[in-house]
Structure 1
């Protein structure tokens, strides 16, 4: 029995390592950070810090409804999972993160990904892909940067 649409191009498939090279740049779509995002994230992670759970907290260094830098990074990773590495990402091997400016509930974020290295492995048609990710907010302000090393699958055949 054949799968309907098997002969059609697959939407949403990530890049195989053979399809990318050092120097390539990609931009994610934009995503607005919501109060629900904040509440769900701090609840599931236990990041119940006063600046995140008290909308009127006055003792912090950041005004408004700030969100953890980890949430910002996770939302960007989600955008990458749905696009660049969907079905081809095998492992996140290493990451280094730097928070530059606060992100608040209601901010819209997106990222620019620059591939810095593609290094094929000796086994199983895989490669280690390194990239730099710059995250921007509503005001076109760079708010977060991180580097990531991932293992990506190769094209079969």
Structure 2
């Protein structure tokens, strides 16, 4: 027999598409990029480029840059927890534009704007598009990307 706890709202659940509107804006928490983040990422992905693994390397991007893919992954992690955790059904498309280097020690956050919502014909779901701008601790834009996701709706299990 179910008890009252089964009806309690789930903490940390993301937004269903009906809670979103075109033009709606969000801002993520900040996340400081660490040496451990960089080394773990390049080890996991095989990006053993001197630019990323040699702390004495003095390339065109300056000291301790991180791969753009790591910047994107960290921001997606922040957005998933705050916006689509448990409600995101699929990442459909993303277009990434790196604008400036992110370095070990930088703190990055995202500013998100919902740009389109298209309900699907079945399943109570919607295709939701967002524009994401990633900024560092100096409020400089370091990456822009457009992302399209499939989100569940209020009636979707």
TM range (shorter): over 0.9
Q: CA deviation at 1:11?
A: 1.6
Measured in 1, the distance between the counterparts of 2:82 and 2:2 equals 26
**Whole-Å Cα distance in 2 between the matches of residues 4 and 34 of structure 1?**
43
User: Separation in 1 of the partners of 2:3 and 2:109?
Assistant: 35
Query: What is the aligned partner in structure 2 of residue 37 from structure 1?
Result: 37
Aligned-residue Cα RMSD (Å) equals: 1.3
Residue 85, structure 1, aligned to residue 88, structure 2: no
- Consecutive unaligned residues of structure 1, counting only runs of 5 or more, are none
1:98 aligns with 97
Report the TM-score, using the length of structure 1 for normalisation. Answer: 0.95
| 2:60 counterpart residue number | 61
- Cα distance in 1 for partners of 2:25, 2:5 equals 31
Distance in 1 (alpha carbons) for counterparts of 2:3 and 2:143:
43
Structure 2 partner of 1:51? 51
For 1:96 and 1:80, how far apart are their aligned partners in 2? Answer: 16
| TM-score for the superposition, normalised by structure 2 | 0.95
Report the count of equivalent residues. 156
Query: Which one has the bigger helix percentage?
Result: 2
Unpaired runs of at least 5, structure 2:
none
Deviation per CA, 1:31-66: give whole Å up to 9, x if none.
1000010001111111111110100012x1011110
Partner of 2:155: 156
Question: 1:3 Cα deviation (Å)?
Answer: 5.9
